[in-house]
Structure 1
Amino acid sequence: MLVGREAELHTLVSAVTAAPAVILLEGEAGVGKTRLVTEMLRSQELAGRAVLVGQCQQLREPFPYGVLLDALRTAGDHLSPGTLGPETGALRPYLPEVTALPPAPEPLGDPRAERHRLFRAIRALLRALDGALLVVEDVHWADDGSRELLRLLMADPPPSLAVLITYRGEERPGGLPLGGAFRPAPGVASALIHLDPLGTDEVRRLACVLLGEQPVSLEFAVKLHERTAGIPFVVEETLRTVHTADDELLDELEVPVLLREAMAQRLAGLPLPARRLADAAAVLGVPADVELLAEVAALLPERAVPALARLADGAVLLEQDGGRYDFRHTLARQAVYRSVAGPDRRALHLRCVRVLSRREPKPLLALAEHSRLAGAVTEWVHYGEAAADRAAEVGDPATATRLLRRLLDEPALARHDVDRLAVKFSQGASNGLAQHEVAAALERLLSDHRLSESCRGEVRLGLGMLLIRQYGGIAAGRMEIAQACDELAERPALALKAKSVLALPFVGSASVAEHLRWMAEVDTEVAASTDRLVRTTMLASTTGSRLHLGDPVAWAQIDQLPATVGSPAEQRQLARAHCNLADACAWTGHFDRAQGFLRSGIQLAADCGAPFVVGTARATQAHLDWLTGEWTGLEERCTRLLDEYRDLVPVAGELSLVLGSLAVARGEWDSATARFAEAGVGDPDNAIAPVALAAFGGTVRMLLARDQIAEAIGAADRGLALLRQKNVWSWAGELVPPAVDAYCRAGRQRAAAEALDQLHRALTDRDAPHARAALAEAAGILAQHQSSPAAAVERLDDARRRYERLPAPYPAALVTERLLGLRPDDPERYAALAEEFERLGAARDGARCRHVLRVGGAVTPSRRGRRGYGNELSPRERDVARLVAAGRTNREIAEVLFLSRRTVEQHVAGVLRKLGARSRAELHENPPDA
């Protein structure tokens, strides 16, 4: 009988039947997650549906996607002939049981490309299973590949699929159930169900059921709840021991080792062979067949079989699929494990090593763990390193990193082992989930006396590479990399890699002169190199860097990139080169070329399996969409990407910039402030420089829109100080015009003229179309404030044309609005401009234009006539709904949209009525779709 979970069961059944749906079921060990899932699967609502169940194991071998593939083994029972596309053939080697799969395609020869194809095949198979439910239990033990695949499936599941995962909150990798954040796509039902321990009344009901309807007093229930913490499994195990609702028996059980004592009592009456078999099962830690259990327990098969039967009869071990046996629950295994004496435990772990080492393929991770627990250091190092190597090869960096870190903590490790393992650890450290823990481990390594000087530089380089990708770590990371350059003097290939990172002009706040010094050293060494991979790797960094600087030489350097590649590694570097060039083109104003490099870069990255490169390219695409006015769905896309890449500063900063810029255009000041802080305004020394400069520009625009002139001046001063410190004026496009406007509005025209003159001189020999358009705009703003309308019109007209050629429609529209203020009233053009702002999604700017029309008394009837929206929200109501959902008051909404408070009140009432919301708070909790 399921006790105390009626509400959770109802929620769970409702959620899984509302496909597409994603459901997360969280709870501590023993709280009843599996029990609830079992009851859910028995419900009538799921009758006839394809249910695919995968179970993650604690001591798993590195096999990415293994739990997903296990779940799909029964898919063939639910498939109709001819329903599978050819792409699902990639699953045939993994799922021989599914006979409906088409033939397997030819191998691609690259693990990353194979992974991409496998992802597509799994998604296609799930799409073919109409109305399927995918259940993956104990996701906290899943491999990185399975977690990544689950994130992709749950972010945008096939239309008829429901995905349910269970996990222990206290064991989530990186603090997240899937190792990384995800956000379901619009239209996907989602639910998070947290199972808490039972209360006293529920424990009393459960005790009554388990004791065969014996009367259970409140006093007994209270004491039982105290001793079991309300965890159903512990309640059950306790009552299996005491057999009756006797307070005195409960008093005799020790707390908090209650479960261990209960299991010890259950095992005490068993014959010695059964006890030895139970001990072997506890030490093995994974489901095992009778042959393996007998070998570890050192029992002959004729003695092991009846002993196993006794364990099964007593529900100590349960038979699973495939004739394997395991404990009823992890807590039960732990209780038996702890009851084994220390010397006996070590001896059993050593037997596990000997037995498992004879199996093929060798379970390397299990061998490593048993060797460690047996105290066999030589075997622990051998198997641990081999398991880490295998994990890295198959794309499970978290397991590799964890193993290497634990090996390096071994005090008996020899110096040559420390060097070798430290280098491997530093090379793969940046790919794991627990980035900050890895950084701390690398710092400890650098102070380890066992580490030789020859390896110290490589470890330091790995630490620096890790730090520059973390919030607050760029300055420290650059210092570590610079020191590594000195330590790597006798290892020129690694030193060159370090120098190429220090040459990147956009990382941190160092002056461009320092970057150019490193770039010159890289250029010299690249020119002398005949290694194609080295040349492509270095050109991927330096060519984009020169383009960022607006250096015309960069275009000739691009021609040095190979048109074809000879290896997957070279293709990954070429993909990085194209994506870096796209990023540089976006920042300097070559938007069309940026799109071209993005297309080729993403294609190259997808073909060879370079997910990090794809991630940076997606951020560049988002920034480019902001610049070119492609704002439809941009906020939602950036939010999803930010959840996925939040720990990577180069990606997260750019996405935060786009979100902050969109918020300014809509008048969402609090959101804009927070996003710009994340983009680098709060800590420019540890930011991506062009991102921080643009964020300063967005901050100045926002403060000017709120008439906070003094604050705008402060932001302009800080932004220009960073720009002058970096001395890369090709990045000035989003900062200088609002800064000049702020200075002029504060009467500081000299400061405005100085910034303008410095930009003009800096762009003399630079190829930076965006900055040149900004120069013309800023010159027009200054002329306007200097009461030179003719000069202002000339320069602003030039700026508008330049923005339109980029194309950059939003700044072009802002310049057009400024021009209309200098020319005789033209209501038709103001109305058209308002429509242009609203088409882009710049609600506040459009409202400002319409406010100018209203104040001037102009009436501009729509050429299309006024449409009725019925029960749909009108464009203005959508703006109001979004601001209400953001927590803005009617007064604040009126200021943002240039409306009267009375008009806002009417709009709010209409929004609540049309959306069926009873209050503003309800709208805040459930905001409408954008």
Structure 2
Amino acid sequence: MVTTRSGTRSGQLPALSVPRFVGRDRELTALGDALGRPPAVVLLEGEAGIGKTRLLRELLPSSSGPDGRVLIGACPPLREPYTLGAVVDAVREGVGGVAGLRLSGLAGALRPLFPEWDADLPPAPEPLGDATAARHRLFRAFVELLNRLGVAVLALEDVHWADEATLEFLLFLVSRRPQPVSVVVTYRPEELPPDSLLLRLSSRVPADAHLVRMTLKPLGVAESATFVSSMLADEHVSAEFAAFLHSRTEGVPLALEESVRLMHARADLIRQNGAWARRRLDHIEVPPTIRDAVLERVARLRPDTRTVLYAAAVLADPADYPTLRAVTGLPDERASAQVAEAVGCGLLREDGRGQWSFRHSLACRAVYEAIPAQERRCMHLRAGRALEAAPLPAVAQLARHFREAGDVEASRRYAEQAADLSAEAGDVATSALLLHNLVTTVALPVEALVRLVTKIQFQSLPGSDPYSKVLESLQSALRTQALTPAQEALVRFQLGRVLMVAGAMETGRCEIADAVPHLPPDSLEAARARILLALPLGAARPVAEHLRWLREAPPVAPSIASHERLRLFLERSFALIMLGEEVGWVEARQIPDDATSPQEAALIAIGHTNIGEAAMRWGRYGEARRRLARALALAEDHQLLGHFGSIASTAAHLDWFTGAWAGLPERVAALLDDDGVRLKDRCEAALVAGLIQAAGGDRDVAEQRLRFARHDDQQHVEAAAALACLHLYDGDVDEALRITDEPTDITVRSGIWPRAAEIAPVRVAALVAAGQLDRAADLVATFARALGDVDAPAPQASLVVCRALLAEGEGQLSRAAALFAQAAAAWEALPRPYGALLTREHHGRCLLAAGREQAGLAVLSDVARALSDLGAHHDADRVTRCLRERAPSSRAPRARRGRPSYGNRLSPREREVVRLLVGGRTNRQIADALVVSTQTVASQLKSAMRKLDVSSRTALAIRVVELGLVGDQEQPPDGDE
């Protein structure tokens, strides 16, 4: 049979059609069923080009259906981030306007995102000082808009590229009861960051919603043949040709389409024996990637058509024809024809609004990366100027275009505007990212650099190190720019501030100290610098040095904004109290309970929270409780959502001290598991969790929590004290001394006694255990001199404990017992029941050591019961063992009701654990055999080692065999180690 390259009598290749929807009937039915029973959450994943977009368009063919409106948006990769970008685009594309919707005043929060609806939206609400509250208000406004528009389905594509606000909004939507709309998201799992909020979406789905998770797979050979045939007027495709295409494209639909289009452009398609095939099977190579296929096709187009495609790739977002033509730089008569050709080649598409864009983001990216650098810069400049002339310019897009064009000033101006708009909408993450990108990628004048760095909220930036590039920009400005002394001081102040925020306290303090002499004396920076230097953060310094910075500070200038003056006043009060100055309480009493604006409310709430924490350190627990209640009331009244974590963590800390332990483990666990809680507050929650675990006997978990808590400077000292206690219980005195050395310098030796209440007794106990009585006595004397007779109940009680420990170490048992009793009474008066009980335990032991057996046993018996009732079972067990040892024939109280105490004898469960240990089992194997946790096994082995006075697992195994405490040894299962 004669071979021809033609499918027609004229000898020309047929035009290619858009491929038909092939091989997805099962998926289409499943998704349709799910959306037919709202509300639904659909998670559709698959690799690039697999057909997620096509499936979505087939499933949701129009902007409205019988059950409500359908909105579809996408998250393209090249766009400069802006708040809720995909959701805003979905609403814009599917809705003509909001006139007549009778929106409430809440919808005024949408104004920054929809400036074109200015005439129809309610007035903008009062700005909120708290970014989380502003974002929450924006989310509620969007939900109201979706409800009034009758939206049934919100579909977002390529969510692996979504901004953080969009992901948070999706979580907000599916967390509502009832869920207001069905949600469909598509994403590529290989491009999803491991910490993406999208991973939490399925866990938020309410019980009455339908969750569908689906992964699109490549097409098979037969399906690939049908797919290709649909592009060739449904004519038959040879089996050999289909197998070849499938092997080269692995059945990925977009790769199949691009390969066929490329072969069509090369004229490599032929008709042979009644079927479509390819020429020269042994020579033709279809590019293995979509990128190569796209670029080879683009290279075959006419230059003007390539220019149109380049312009569309530079714009990235859908654009109208005038904008697209302006970016090409072509005359209108030439541009019009080439736009049509670009559509005809299958790369561009026009939507119902007359907006032009690439059919697939992968093709857009491939073309963009292929544009020659100089041409790309020129096109970005033309794009910026064209979009700048629009009635409502998109500032985020303008920032990107002018940055890529090299126009630093325009890029800075629009990026800052975009960041301000994001912050106004409550999207602090996008605002911080825009500012961070600007500061770290553009050589800015020093005034702009300082201003922008001041605005960055680093805690909202992704990644483990959001600071280093900003630090490099500031250091580069110091090295390369000709700065006046005042300009250099401003840069150094910002450098020092960022270093301190990043945890490099000492380096940061040095930079700020160097800056102070040259800062304008009446400036905000000069006042903030002295506050930062006054706060007792970082390494140890004498308290007098910290106070000097406060006393040298000039009066706050009237020119400083009122909210900044309030901030300085609050920070000064907190610093004075943390430095042990009574005058700080005089100033703190002037902090108002109410606010006249959300911004003021946020500052006052922070102020009350900080003063509440300081009151807790002093032992003024009633004051602390009142301050936290005021902060919480302000946070609730003004929806200051970002403050709830700080208030809750400090309240949990206070409840630990005051013995309000009911439900406390669950509360701190919730704080630790909430990614929205700041690191500082999670560290405080970890501290409380570690203290609870230690009291309950779960040592390993306790140590893990306490080590995490030490990441925060405010919790570092108390966490170190708790860790040292664990090591003292283990008999590791050297480690306890090592851990407490630096915190003791920071607190007792520097004279900053409000932070010494927890560390001082542990340090004294470690010194006494090491036989270093002279050093212990010096420490107690130093603590007493620093503290004086100030009204600070917790540190004063702590000082009495230190004196009692020293007296006990010196053998003055009667005096020690009396001092322990005095300290316990002081703890009880606070109230601080756990501290009081541990101190009474010392009191009872001293009575026993002094020969007052009956009185000591009575005290310890009461302590054991009270510790068990409080929930400190580990401590209760310890006291009960002491009672059994001293009076084995007496009926000592049980630490845990309903469970016998075995004194120095192994319990039945401990015998079982040891039996398996002797048989060669690991902790994991023992736990599996007994259906308990590995932590429980470790605790029981540790208890057995303590009872039998051995220090290792091997010694324990030998000892129990010697004593005949276990029966026949059991061998581990085959294959186990």
TM-score tier by shorter-chain length is 0.7 to 0.9
CA contact (8 A) 1:844 1:897 kept: no
Letter aligned with residue 547 of structure 1 = I
- Counterpart secondary structure, 1:696: helix
- Counterpart secondary structure, 2:857: coil
Change (3 A) 1:152 1:779: farther
Letter aligned with residue 433 of structure 1 = L
CA contact (8 A) 1:289 1:324 kept: yes
Q: Distance in 2 between matches of 1:196 and 1:459?
A: 52
Q: Distance in 2 between matches of 1:488 and 1:798?
A: 51
Matched residue, 2:489: 457
- Indicate the larger mover: 589-598 or 119-128: 119-128
**Aligned with residue 56 of structure 1, among 60, 75, 78:** 75
CA contact (8 A) 1:723 1:729 kept: yes
Matched residue, 2:367: 336
Between Structure 1 and Structure 2, whose CA radius of gyration is higher? Answer: 2
Letter aligned with residue 241 of structure 1 = L
Letter aligned with residue 449 of structure 2 = A
CA contact (8 A) 1:108 1:114 kept: no
CA contact (8 A) 1:223 1:250 kept: no
**Aligned with residue 801 of structure 1, among 825, 828, 851:** 825
Letter aligned with residue 812 of structure 1 = A
CA contact (8 A) 1:419 1:452 kept: no
Change (3 A) 1:587 1:827: closer
Letter aligned with residue 117 of structure 1 = R
**Aligned with residue 869 of structure 2, among 828, 836, 839:** 836
- Counterpart secondary structure, 1:287: coil
Give the deviation of 1:597 after TM superposition.
Answer: 1.7
Q: Distance in 1 between matches of 2:222 and 2:878?
A: 64
**2:196 paired with 1:177:** yes
Change (3 A) 1:642 1:54: farther
Change (3 A) 1:294 1:794: same
Matched residue, 1:559: 589
- Counterpart secondary structure, 1:326: strand
Structure 2 gaps of 5+ residues are 1-19, 96-100, 230-236, 264-268, 270-275, 848-855, 900-926, 949-977
Q: Distance in 2 between matches of 1:796 and 1:186?
A: 55
Query: How do 1:357-756 and structure 2 match up within 5 A?
Result: 357-376=388-407, 379-380=410-411, 383-384=414-415, 386-388=417-419, 390-391=421-422, 393-396=424-427, 418-431=445-458, 433=461, 435-436=466-467, 437-449=469-481, 453-471=485-503, 473-489=504-520, 492-522=523-553, 524-526=554-556, 532-561=562-591, 569-604=599-634, 615-631=645-661, 634-635=664-665, 637-638=667-668, 641-642=671-672, 650-680=680-710, 688=713, 690-756=714-780
- Indicate the larger mover: 618-627 or 576-585: 618-627
Query: How do 1:2-41 and structure 2 match up within 5 A?
Result: 29-30=48-49
Change (3 A) 1:703 1:256: same
Q: Distance in 2 between matches of 1:827 and 1:130?
A: 69
CA contact (8 A) 1:28 1:170 kept: yes
Query: Aligned pairs, how many?
Result: 851
CA contact (8 A) 1:485 1:495 kept: yes
CA deviations over 1:664-710 (Å, ceiling 9, x no partner)? 223333333333333338xxxxx51x522211210122113333334
CA deviations over 1:173-207 (Å, ceiling 9, x no partner)? 8x743599999689999999998997xxx776775
Give the deviation of 1:333 after TM superposition.
Answer: 0.8
CA contact (8 A) 1:347 1:374 kept: yes
Q: Distance in 1 between matches of 2:134 and 2:326?
A: 38
**Aligned with residue 65 of structure 1, among 84, 102, 118:** 84
Matched residue, 1:908: none
CA deviations over 1:302-352 (Å, ceiling 9, x no partner)? 987786666556542344464434222211112233454555444433332
Give the deviation of 1:762 after TM superposition.
Answer: 2.4
Letter aligned with residue 259 of structure 1 = R
Q: Distance in 1 between matches of 2:411 and 2:782?
A: 63
Change (3 A) 1:672 1:280: same
Letter aligned with residue 324 of structure 2 = L
Give the deviation of 1:544 after TM superposition.
Answer: 1.0
CA contact (8 A) 1:572 1:610 kept: yes
CA deviations over 1:696-735 (Å, ceiling 9, x no partner)? 2101221133333343333344443443443212222222
Letter aligned with residue 507 of structure 2 = A
CA contact (8 A) 1:457 1:484 kept: yes
Change (3 A) 1:846 1:805: same
- Counterpart secondary structure, 2:801: helix
Query: How do 1:774-853 and structure 2 match up within 5 A?
Result: 774-784=798-808, 790-819=814-843, 821=845, 822=847, 823-825=856-858, 829=862, 832-838=865-871, 842-848=872-878
Change (3 A) 1:649 1:459: farther
CA contact (8 A) 1:503 1:518 kept: yes
Change (3 A) 1:337 1:186: closer
Q: Distance in 2 between matches of 1:157 and 1:885?
A: 38
**2:284 paired with 1:237:** no
Give the deviation of 1:466 after TM superposition.
Answer: 2.0
Give the deviation of 1:149 after TM superposition.
Answer: 4.5
TM-score for the superposition, normalised by structure 2: 0.71
- Indicate the larger mover: 530-539 or 164-173: 164-173
Query: How do 1:32-431 and structure 2 match up within 5 A?
Result: 54-58=73-77, 60=79, 63-68=82-87, 107-110=125-128, 112=130, 114-121=134-141, 136-139=156-159, 141-149=161-169, 158=177, 176-178=195-197, 207=224, 210-212=227-229, 215=239, 220=244, 224=248, 233-234=254-255, 236-242=257-263, 259-265=291-297, 268=300, 276-297=307-328, 311-312=342-343, 314-320=345-351, 322-342=353-373, 344-376=375-407, 379-380=410-411, 383-384=414-415, 386-388=417-419, 390-391=421-422, 393-396=424-427, 418-431=445-458
CA contact (8 A) 1:753 1:782 kept: yes
Q: Distance in 1 between matches of 2:798 and 2:863?
A: 23
CA deviations over 1:576-628 (Å, ceiling 9, x no partner)? 32222122112222222222222323444566676665554444334323333
Q: Distance in 2 between matches of 1:337 and 1:246?
A: 30
CA deviations over 1:6-37 (Å, ceiling 9, x no partner)? 99999999999999999987777546665687
CA contact (8 A) 1:59 1:366 kept: no
CA contact (8 A) 2:109 2:124 kept: no
CA deviations over 1:87-132 (Å, ceiling 9, x no partner)? 9666787999xx9xx9969822447565443345557899999998
Q: Distance in 2 between matches of 1:126 and 1:897?
A: 63
Question: What is the Cα-based RMSD across aligned positions, in Å?
Answer: 5.5
Matched residue, 2:937: 890
CA contact (8 A) 2:645 2:677 kept: no
Matched residue, 1:873: none
Matched residue, 1:907: none
